[in-house]
């Protein structure tokens, strides 16, 4: 295949934002994750944990809590507002001020008729959930001290509220506090430091479980108001709790980065009196675990270290399958880098700004010109959804939830701005998350989260056809510049090629489906986020995920099912004459790690944008505790 010159770029200092909170919807198997910059991401657990929707954040929107009510998603934050999201248009639908100061927590009752929010001023406010909006109903009796955490009893008759130094149980009907559970402060020197109940859980047998800043997980009897068990699990804070749906297991996340599981089981065989027993400890984070979700089969956790970790419970899944593998989601499942192939420009998308860089030039290994910074586009309050750069580098477009902007860039340092109107609405219910146009400007392909791909003819300005719907969401699509075939890669790692002219899958695609992809390819846990083509050789398709990039040569045979997928080392060791027999269509290179973008420029040099996770780690604040040897 030959040699490539590679521009290895590491100056995209993308920094994911810390995970603040999350909520799991077990009906739809969707996980909503809120980050510290206000962005909300929706992951589909039925489809390889694909991040199907991203609602960009906004300055000043600090989301503290998320809550699903059926298909509706609510959030509340320290700006004192309750927000409902429009999951079709990916923007906040409306916000309601609770007039109680910063909101720490939000919780809905099991029928989905009422929302309770806990405010800084010590009130628990109940809102009625109506069609299309929510309406303030009443306050529960006010108490001094902020309400940090809330949990409804499954019968919706009581609410447990975690405060400083105590937990209060309110009667949801009358609004009176019926019980007050005093939480012990930490032992020793910090005795005069008040203890904050960061999280409470309320089970149907009236057991209350609390996690607090003194590092305790406590089990209370909510009927009598007595303490049943105390587990001291950390020297620092227990920040979050999550109860499984069948109420047999509770997980607690701590500042140390550990997640500790408690299970409701009988301690000896043949006894029926069950109790809460500390069972497992997971250590997948280096920093605070501030968000947790307990799904039926896995523990999902996230926190300061910005990674979302899905840790399957090995007693609930089949061992040694893809299902039982630990997953870490570190990067967004979409491309944040734009590349102007002709001009050698890179566009980096940050939540609040865009940066345009010019690549360097070189003669072999010798760098003649270093890359330099061209310009920066600062965006105001609303964060950027997506951005694109034209191949010539002369046009730049980006959008926020409210507007689309188009810039004309001329390289004598003057920049003129043109704003264009919104395009006609596409005929789909779900939001379009992928868009691509063919190089000749004739075709436009869109993909939405219902897994549909539509093709439009831009010359005639009408729908050309629809690609047969596959049951996994496309993670990236591209139209081949020469053959006008649409390549789509899906969350389950399948690759399809669809001929726009013949409106059918190509022979190559059919052959690939018939033979099947190797399991090593299918078991990769990051999606393909970008596809480019080789302008000199139409057989080459270049695609990448976080850990590798791959050049698919359509002229070569597919690997046999028992063949080695990563065969570059073997090929290297063989003499040239024997290479032909051994090589197959997938040329995989793993020498660059944690890829944000791989693209092929006009002059056939590769651009590789890396963002090593270690660099991200090193920018995080110091963790509270580091493990050393066996301490």
Partner 1 sequence: MAALYEGYTLCGLVPDQNLSSSGIQGIEEERDRDHVVVTDSTRSVTLYKVSDQKPLGSWTVKQGHKLTCPAVFNSQTNEYVAVTDNKVIRIWKEDDILLDKAFKATVSSDVWKVHCTHGGEPVVLFQRGAVRLLDSLLAAPQQPIEEVLAQEEAIRWSTIIVAETQQFIIITTEQKGEHFLYLQRLNPNSVQRYRLEREEPGLSPLSFSATYRDKHICLLYLYPNGHVYQSVLSVRGLGTEEGVQALPLPRSLLLGLPVGDGQLEAASAMALDEAHVAVVGVPHPSAGGGKDFLCIWNTNFQTLQAGKEIAGKIYGQLWSYSNKVFIPHGKTLSIIPFECPKSSLASALGKLKHTKTEESKTPNSVPSWNNILHGEKAQPSKSAETRRTRTTRKSQSTTNLTTDQVLELIKTAPVEEIQKEVEGFLTRAEFQDLQPSVGQLALTLVSRSLADPAFYSSSTLAQLVHTRCLCHSVCPDLVLLALEKKDYFLCQLCLQFFPDIPEAVTCACLKAFISIPDVDAEKVSLEPDSVEFMENLITRDRAEAGLQNGFSPTSSVVNDRQTRAEDVKKKASAPSQLSCPVGLHKAVLINEILQTPYSDTFLLPHLKDLSSQHVMLFLQYLQFLYLKYSQDAFPQMEGFRSPSLSQIMDWVCLLLDAHFTVLVMTPEAKGLLLNLHRFVKSQVRLVSELGKIEGSLQELRKMKAKESIGQYSIEIIELF
Binder of partner 1 out of 425, 572, 577, 581 (CB under 8 A): 572
Residue 5 or 138: the one with the smaller Cβ distance to partner 1 is: 5
What character string, x for contact with partner 1 (CB under 8 A) and - otherwise, covers 7-26?
xxxxx---------------
What character string, x for contact with partner 1 (CB under 8 A) and - otherwise, covers 304-343?
-----------xx---------------------------
> In sequence order, which residues have a C-beta less than 8 Å from that of residue 582 and are 6 or more positions away?
567, 570, 571, 574
Using the contact rule CB under 8 A, the part of the chain among 77-85, 259-267, 290-298, 521-529 near partner 1 is 259-267
Task: Give me the least distance between CB of 231 and partner 1, in Å please.
Answer: 15
Place of tokens 């509270």: 624
Burial of 277 (0-12, 13-18, 19+ CB in 10 A): middle
Angle at 531 between CA 332 and CA 597, to 5 degrees: 50
CB 496 within 8 A of CB 470: yes
Binder of partner 1 out of 583, 596, 599, 600 (CB under 8 A): 583
Q: How far is the C-alpha of 244 from the C-alpha of 144, rounded, in Å?
A: 32
Neighbour tally for 411: CB within 10 Å: 12
Q: Binding of partner 1 at residue 2 (CB under 8 A)? A: yes
Residue 7 or 61: the one with the smaller Cβ distance to partner 1 is: 7
Residue 278 or 328: the one with the smaller Cβ distance to partner 1 is: 278
- SS3 for 235-274 is CCCEEEEEECCCCCEEEEEECCCEEEEEEEEECCCCCCCE
Residue 346 or 396: the one with the smaller Cβ distance to partner 1 is: 346
Q: Binding of partner 1 at residue 273 (CB under 8 A)? A: no
> In sequence order, which residues have a C-beta less than 8 Å from that of residue 190 and are 6 or more positions away?
214
Task: Give me the least distance between CB of 316 and partner 1, in Å please.
Answer: 7
DSSP state letter for 386: E
Residue 326 or 466: the one with the smaller Cβ distance to partner 1 is: 326
Q: Binding of partner 1 at residue 232 (CB under 8 A)? A: no
Q: Binding of partner 1 at residue 419 (CB under 8 A)? A: no
Task: Give me the least distance between CB of 216 and partner 1, in Å please.
Answer: 18
- In the chain the first and final C-alpha atoms are separated, in Å, by 51
Q: Binding of partner 1 at residue 471 (CB under 8 A)? A: no
Q: Site for partner 1 (CB under 8 A): how many residues? A: 45
Both structure tokens of 351: 């939540």
Q: Binding of partner 1 at residue 581 (CB under 8 A)? A: no
Cα 167 to Cα 159, 233, 427, distances in angstroms: 10, 19, 50
Task: Give me the least distance between CB of 170 and partner 1, in Å please.
Answer: 33
Residue 440 or 602: the one with the smaller Cβ distance to partner 1 is: 602
Binder of partner 1 out of 27, 144, 173, 268 (CB under 8 A): 268
Residue 5 or 510: the one with the smaller Cβ distance to partner 1 is: 5
CB 563 within 8 A of CB 584: yes
Interface with partner 1 in residues 359-378 (CB under 8 A): 360, 362, 364-365, 367, 370-371
Q: Kind and range of the H or E element at 577?
A: helix 576-582
Interface with partner 1 in residues 189-208 (CB under 8 A): 189-191
Q: Binding of partner 1 at residue 402 (CB under 8 A)? A: no
Q: Binding of partner 1 at residue 622 (CB under 8 A)? A: no
Using the contact rule CB under 8 A, the part of the chain among 45-53, 94-102, 262-270, 398-406 near partner 1 is 262-270
Q: Binding of partner 1 at residue 591 (CB under 8 A)? A: yes
Task: Give me the least distance between CB of 269 and partner 1, in Å please.
Answer: 5
Interface with partner 1 in residues 65-84 (CB under 8 A): none
> In sequence order, which residues have a C-beta less than 8 Å from that of residue 473 and are 6 or more positions away?
44, 47, 50, 52, 447, 449, 451, 490, 491
> Of 34, 37, 38, which Cα lies nearest the Cα of 15?
37
Angle at 366 between CA 361 and CA 369, to 5 degrees: 35
Q: 161-183: string of b/e by CB count within 10 Å (b at 16+)?
A: bbbbebbbbbebeeeebebebeb
CA torsion sign, 232 to 234 to 240 to 244?
negative
Binder of partner 1 out of 279, 281, 555, 626 (CB under 8 A): 279
Q: How far is the C-alpha of 468 from the C-alpha of 453, rounded, in Å?
A: 8
Cα 392 to Cα 113, 450, 459, distances in angstroms: 54, 33, 21
Residue 397 or 563: the one with the smaller Cβ distance to partner 1 is: 563
Q: Binding of partner 1 at residue 630 (CB under 8 A)? A: yes
Residue 3 or 132: the one with the smaller Cβ distance to partner 1 is: 3
Binder of partner 1 out of 62, 78, 277, 406 (CB under 8 A): 277
Q: How far is the C-alpha of 16 from the C-alpha of 492, rounded, in Å?
A: 24
Using the contact rule CB under 8 A, the part of the chain among 157-165, 174-182, 376-384, 583-591 near partner 1 is 583-591
Residue 78 or 574: the one with the smaller Cβ distance to partner 1 is: 574
Q: Which residues in this chain contact partner 1 in the complex, by CB under 8 A?
A: 1-11, 188-191, 248, 263, 265-266, 268-270, 277, 279, 315-316, 360, 362, 364-365, 367, 370-371, 551, 568, 571-572, 579, 583, 587, 589, 591, 606, 629-630
């Amino acid at each position: 295949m030959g040699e490539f010159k590679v521009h290895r770029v590491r100056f995209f200092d993308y920094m994911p934002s810390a995970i603040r909170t999350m909520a799991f919807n077990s009906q739809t198997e969707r996980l909503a994750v809120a980050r510290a910059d206000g962005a909300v991401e929706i992951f589909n657990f039925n489809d390889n944990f694909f991040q199907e929707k991203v609602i960009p954040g906004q300055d000043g929107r600090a989301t503290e809590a998320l809550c699903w009510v059926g298909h509706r998603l609510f959030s509340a934050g320290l700006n004192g507002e309750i927000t409902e999201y429009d999951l079709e248009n990916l923007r906040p639908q409306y916000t309601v001020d609770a007039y109680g100061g910063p909101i720490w927590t939000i919780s809905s009752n099991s029928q989905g008729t009422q929302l309770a929010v806990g405010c800084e001023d010590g009130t628990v406010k109940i809102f009625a959930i109506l069609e299309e909006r929510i309406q303030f109903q009443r306050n529960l009796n006010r108490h001094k001290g902020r309400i940090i955490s809330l949990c409804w009893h499954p019968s919706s008759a009581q609410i447990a509220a975690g405060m400083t130094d105590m937990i209060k149980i309110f009667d949801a009907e009358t609004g009176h506090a019926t019980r007050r559970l005093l939480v012990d402060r930490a032992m020793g020197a910090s005795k005069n430091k008040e203890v904050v109940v960061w999280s409470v859980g309320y089970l149907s047998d009236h057991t209350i479980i609390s996690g607090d800043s003194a590092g305790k997980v406590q089990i209370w009897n909510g009927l009598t108001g007595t303490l049943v068990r105390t587990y001291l699990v950390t020297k620092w804070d227990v920040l979050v709790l999550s109860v499984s749906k069948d109420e047999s297991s509770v997980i607690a996340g701590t500042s140390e980065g550990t997640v500790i599981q408690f299970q409701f089981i009988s301690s000896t065989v043949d006894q029926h009196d069950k109790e809460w027993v500390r069972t497992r400890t997971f250590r997948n984070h280096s920093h605070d675990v501030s968000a947790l979700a307990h799904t039926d089969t896995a523990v999902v956790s996230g926190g300061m270290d910005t990674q979302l970790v899905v840790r399957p419970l090995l007693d609930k899944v089949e061992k040694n399958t893809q299902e039982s593998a630990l997953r870490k989601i570190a990067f967004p499942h979409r491309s944040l880098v734009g590349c102007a192939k002709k001009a050698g420009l890179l566009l980096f998308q940050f939540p609040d700004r865009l940066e345009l860089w010019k690549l360097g030039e070189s003669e072999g290994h010798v760098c003649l010109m270093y890359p330099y910074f061209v310009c920066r586009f600062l965006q105001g309050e609303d964060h950027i959804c997506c951005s694109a750069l034209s191949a010539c580098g002369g046009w730049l477009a980006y959008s926020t939830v409210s507007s689309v902007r188009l810039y004309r860039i001329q390289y004598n340092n003057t920049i003129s701005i043109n704003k264009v109107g919104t395009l006609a609405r596409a005929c789909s219910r779900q939001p379009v998350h992928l868009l691509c146009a063919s190089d000749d400007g004739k075709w436009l392909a869109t993909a939405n989260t219902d897994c549909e791909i539509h093709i439009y003819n831009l010359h005639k300005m009408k729908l050309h056809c629809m690609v047969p719907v596959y049951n996994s969401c496309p993670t990236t699509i591209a139209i081949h510049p020469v053959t006008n075939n649409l390549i789509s890669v899906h969350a389950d790692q399948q690759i399809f090629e669809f001929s726009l002219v013949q409106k059918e899958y190509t022979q190559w695609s059919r052959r690939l489906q018939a033979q099947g992809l190797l399991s090593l390819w299918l078991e990769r846990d990051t999606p393909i986020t970008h596809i480019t083509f080789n302008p000199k050789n139409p057989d080459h398709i270049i695609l990448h995920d976080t850990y590798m990039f791959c050049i698919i040569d359509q002229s070569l045979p597919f690997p046999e099912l028992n063949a080695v997928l990563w065969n570059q080392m073997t090929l290297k060791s063989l003499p040239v004459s024997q290479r032909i027999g051994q090589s197959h269509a997938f040329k995989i290179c793993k020498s660059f790690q944690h890829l944000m973008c791989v693209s092929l420029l006009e002059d056939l040099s590769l651009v590789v944008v890396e963002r090593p996770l270690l660099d991200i780690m090193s920018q995080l604040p110091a963790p509270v505790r580091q493990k050393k040897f066996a301490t």
